């Protein structure tokens, strides 16, 4: 496997006998870094908003 190879993941959830949810995702390492940056900025901004609301 090369360092820049895309990562694949899939998830299947069955709900009862007739319903199912299937999700597939493919992410490159640079895309994973971008997702991590977005999540961390959302969490940091939420902490600032909560802190300001408590004043």
Tens digit of each residue's pLDDT (9 = 90 or more) over 1-55: 677 889 999 999 999 989 999 999 999 999 999 999 999 999 999 999 998 998 8
β partners of residue 25: 9
Separation in Å, CA 44 to CA 28, 31, 38, 39, 47: 24, 20, 10, 9, 5
- Segments making up each domain of the chain, as ranges: 27-55
Structure confidence at residue 31 (pLDDT):
92
Structure confidence at residue 2 (pLDDT):
72
Structure confidence at residue 3 (pLDDT):
74
Which 3 state secondary structure label does DSSP give 48? helix
């Amino acid at each position: 496997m090369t360092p820049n190879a895309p990562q694949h993941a899939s998830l299947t959830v069955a709900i009862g006998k007739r319903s199912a949810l299937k999700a597939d995702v493919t992410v490159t390492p640079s895309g994973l870094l971008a997702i991590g940056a977005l999540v961390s900025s959302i969490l940091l901004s939420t902490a600032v908003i909560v802190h300001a609301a408590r004043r």
